[in-house]
Structure 1
Amino acid sequence: MQNEPLAFRMRPRTIDEIAGQKDIIGEKTALYRMIKNGHVPSMLLYGEPGIGKTSLAHAIAGTSNLPFIAMNATVSGKKDVEDVVAESRITGKVLLFLDEIHRFNKLQQDTLLPHVESGAIVLIGATTENPYHDVNPAIRSRCGEIRQLSRLEPTDLMEVLQKAMADEERGLGKMPITITDEQLTLIAEGVNGDARKALTVLESAVSASDEVDEKIIIEDWLLENLLGRIGLFGDKKGSHFYNLLSALQKSVRGSDVNAAIYYLANLLETGDLVAVNRRLLVMAYEDVGLASPEVGPHVLAATDAAVKLGMPEARIPLANAVIEMCLASKSNSAYKAFDAAVKAINEGKTGDIPLHLRDAHYAGAAKLGHVGYKYPHDTPLGSFGGWTNQQYLPDKLKNTEFYKPVIAGEEKKMAAIYDRLKEFRKKK
């Protein structure tokens, strides 16, 4: 067993040994009670790598005493599924743990699904991708539980590390290791909630340390070297990458500079500069908009500069852009107005274009009644420029207002002009 990685050896054997995830498998949860009483429902476990999906499946199997079969959907075929079905016919109900379940194809599903539905196979599917996006509805409908696991807290990871240090059978308990609580805390806080990484760092530190006076002394610099960039998260083009993009946009929208910079840093470390630039440009017009109209061109300049510079220098203009957007006055009125117009069109609220607005640049246009257009520039209106009171919307929509100004930043001036023009129209 000692040839196996420490993270493998220290997997929880029952659900009582699981660290963290108390909201999912704690003693006061329905899932815990069901498993303890002998009922294991089919389920989907969703979350980032290293947060315990595989460990939870093994623990459930250990608690329920069901025959356990583990498969990975990236390498399994129809024959593997048929073998699981055959096993269930011999032994009775089996627990199938299917990692990367979103990679399962339709043929594999068709072979497996009837047996999951009948209860001959209890399916525990694990995925790093959002199951509502990447797992087929046929699988989802047969899983009574769809649970999103969370990254472990440092206190949970301390529990995992201390167990590994004390366990003489599966862990490092028989080794003369000298490591402080502060060093264990450094590991627990440096792996971004990943139990597998925490145990791997601990094992690597022990392997790389010298033995002095029959003691293995763990040094701080070694841990810091092993931890390195291990705390980063977000797989390029995976669900968590899009979660990072979402978190960045919502932090900017909420004017939280520190959170926005944090998520920008995570995103740039994943290496997809194109996707980050695209999202920043969208945010400039979706979330900042008319309240600070100068921000859009500023962000465009920053993203153009980022493309020309490349990483790591691209971080400089992009950090400027993110902070400017965070602290700018914000308005979503423009795109909301557009969406309202689209909604009206899709609901059939349309009408004929007024005759005086139709194309009149051809002989015979007057005979069709395409006359009467008043050129606004011919009628000056103070410092505004030119304006004339004429109808532009179709008759059926002539009093409709799609635009609702936000009284913020520069849009306050636009809103005042908008309201003043409405008053002029009412005087017609």
Structure 2
Amino acid sequence: MHNEPLAYRMRPKNIDEIAGQEEIIGKNTALYHLIKKGHVPSMLLYGEPGIGKTSLAHAIAGTSDLPFISLNATVSGKKEVEDVVAEARVTGKVLLFLDEIHRFNKLQQDTLLPHVEKGSIVLIGATTENPFHDVNPAIRSRCGEIKQLKRLEASDLLGVLHRALTDQERGLGKQSIRITEAQLLKIAEGVNGDARKALNVLESVVIASDEENGETIVEDWLVDNLIGRIGLFSDKKGSHFYNLLSALQKSIRGSDVNAAIYYLAHLLETGDLVAVNRRLLVIAYEDIGLAAPHIGAHVLAATEAAVRLGMPEARIPLANAVIEMCLASKSNSAYKAFDAAVRAINSGNTGDIPPHLRDTHYAGAAELGHVGYQYPHNTPIGSFGGWIDQQYLPDKVEGTEFYRPVQAGDEVKLAAIYERMKEMKKNKR
């Protein structure tokens, strides 16, 4: 009887047993050939939990035959790092796998990095966070390879499950198990590309199933029950969460209703309603803006309703808001105009406020020359209201156009008014 979990026992022993990740460690990659020839470069492995970072490091160690040491940066101190350095001095070279490398502190770095630089320690770091945001630059500079692992496809996971069922030494091959291909596919499709979860589900299903005449018989309801919500990956403040927020915004901006609803559902399942509401409000004004100005008010109402309702009812107003935003006309002209004005100011394109626009609510303003302002409301112009041609920008930036209208939705009318006023100014000057 095995004491270790099935997922631990089935961890690949060498790089030929790695499932998926063909672009990173497939037989046609340079990394595969380097490792096969005994050269292991220091590298960073980046990806979500369960994606195979630890398995890949163990497989590389099994292929290279280097002395292998595994540490976790959250619990390892200076002493553990010094032990690795001492081992490298004795053996000449060691392969160090450092999990949660983004938590590596400066003291650990100062002890380890010189040995990584001269090659006596080969460092494989693993992180769930974006290494360009969260891994110290000193570590990144010494890791020539930064590999982003992808979640496995269902076909890759089916191969992992079949191997576990047939492997008599490490897997379940010595047991008689009746499990259908449809049940295995359901597991493979229900774990969100996570091989460890797939093997955990398989092991749990086999343990929980009844036996008949020495054969374990797996039933559909048991598979459904054990998969449950296992496919959901939640890291409210991690890189994947912000990737989901980014995907939601880009899907709305791209008017893809189905993708936007998918990412909204994933985000709400993580439970961070505040972050979702905030992003939706940003999208309403950043990506839809003047083309459909009513959307901002609609989204604000939906997010406020979501806060009052809480989950799961919050999904209802938010789903309405997301679909309306997807199908609304889009314009980013307003914030682009603002950003252009900021760039002008920061580059020194500033000047004195025209005297006639300055404050006059005090005695002596006229003596300072704060005169000449013409009140637009006194000059009606059609159904627009009041307008008169006078200078508003400082002399230095007079005539600069920060606003570039987009011909979309309601902004078409605003753009027409804007162009008409430009023409009127031109004719009067």
* TM-score normalised by the chain length of structure 1: 0.99
State the alpha-carbon separation in 1 of the partners of residues 227 and 320 from structure 2. Answer: 29
Q: Which runs of 5+ in 1 are unaligned?
A: none
Q: CA offset at residue 214 of structure 1? A: 1.1
**What is aligned with 1:378?**
378
State the alpha-carbon separation in 1 of the partners of residues 226 and 67 from structure 2. Answer: 38
Q: CA offset at residue 233 of structure 1? A: 2.3
**What is aligned with 1:320?**
320
Q: What does 1:72-87 correspond to in 2, within 5 Å? A: 72-87=72-87
Q: CA offset at residue 349 of structure 1? A: 1.0
Residue by residue, what CA displacement relative to the aligned partner does 1:252-290 show, whole Å, maximum 9, x if unpaired?
000011110110011011111111100000000001100
Residue by residue, what CA displacement relative to the aligned partner does 1:187-207 show, whole Å, maximum 9, x if unpaired?
111101000000000000000
Q: Residue 70 of structure 1: SS of its match in structure 2? A: strand
Q: What does 1:225-264 correspond to in 2, within 5 Å? A: 225-264=225-264
State the alpha-carbon separation in 2 of the partners of residues 33 and 176 from structure 1. Answer: 39
State the alpha-carbon separation in 2 of the partners of residues 334 and 7 from structure 1. Answer: 53
Amino acid paired to 2:164: A
Q: Is the 8 A contact 1:96 1:124 kept in 2?
A: yes
**What is aligned with 2:128?**
128
Q: Residue 383 of structure 2: SS of its match in structure 1? A: helix
**What is aligned with 1:305?**
305
Amino acid paired to 2:221: W
Amino acid paired to 2:63: T
Residue by residue, what CA displacement relative to the aligned partner does 1:203-254 show, whole Å, maximum 9, x if unpaired?
0000001111110001110000000011112311111000000000000000
Among all aligned residue pairs of Structure 1 and Structure 2, give the percentage whose two residues are the same amino acid: 80
CA RMSD of aligned residues (A): 0.7
Residue by residue, what CA displacement relative to the aligned partner does 1:291-331 show, whole Å, maximum 9, x if unpaired?
00000000000000111111111111111110110010010
**What is aligned with 1:107?**
107
Q: Is the 8 A contact 1:255 1:326 kept in 2?
A: yes
Q: Residue 216 of structure 1: SS of its match in structure 2? A: strand
- The count of residues paired between Structure 1 and Structure 2 equals 428
Q: CA offset at residue 42 of structure 1? A: 0.4
Tell me whether 143-152 or 102-111 shows the greater mean CA deviation.
102-111
Residue by residue, what CA displacement relative to the aligned partner does 1:358-407 show, whole Å, maximum 9, x if unpaired?
11111111111110001100000000000000010111111100000010
Q: What does 1:342-381 correspond to in 2, within 5 Å? A: 342-381=342-381
**What is aligned with 1:181?**
181
Q: Residue 368 of structure 1: SS of its match in structure 2? A: coil
**What is aligned with 2:407?**
407
State the alpha-carbon separation in 1 of the partners of residues 209 and 171 from structure 2. Answer: 17
**What is aligned with 1:211?**
211
> Stretches of 4+ moved more than 6 A in 1?
none
Q: Residue 164 of structure 1: SS of its match in structure 2? A: helix
Residue 224, structure 1, aligned to residue 224, structure 2 = yes
Q: Which runs of 5+ in 2 are unaligned?
A: none
* TM-score normalised by the chain length of structure 2: 0.99
State the alpha-carbon separation in 2 of the partners of residues 192 and 257 from structure 1. Answer: 22
**What is aligned with 2:51?**
51
Q: Is the 8 A contact 1:333 1:403 kept in 2?
A: yes
Q: What does 1:15-26 correspond to in 2, within 5 Å? A: 15-26=15-26
State the alpha-carbon separation in 1 of the partners of residues 92 and 232 from structure 2. Answer: 43
Amino acid paired to 2:74: T
Q: Residue 366 of structure 1: SS of its match in structure 2? A: coil
Q: Is the 8 A contact 1:234 1:244 kept in 2?
A: no
Residue 139, structure 1, aligned to residue 150, structure 2 = no
Amino acid paired to 2:402: F
Q: Residue 359 of structure 2: SS of its match in structure 1? A: coil
State the alpha-carbon separation in 2 of the partners of residues 288 and 213 from structure 1. Answer: 65
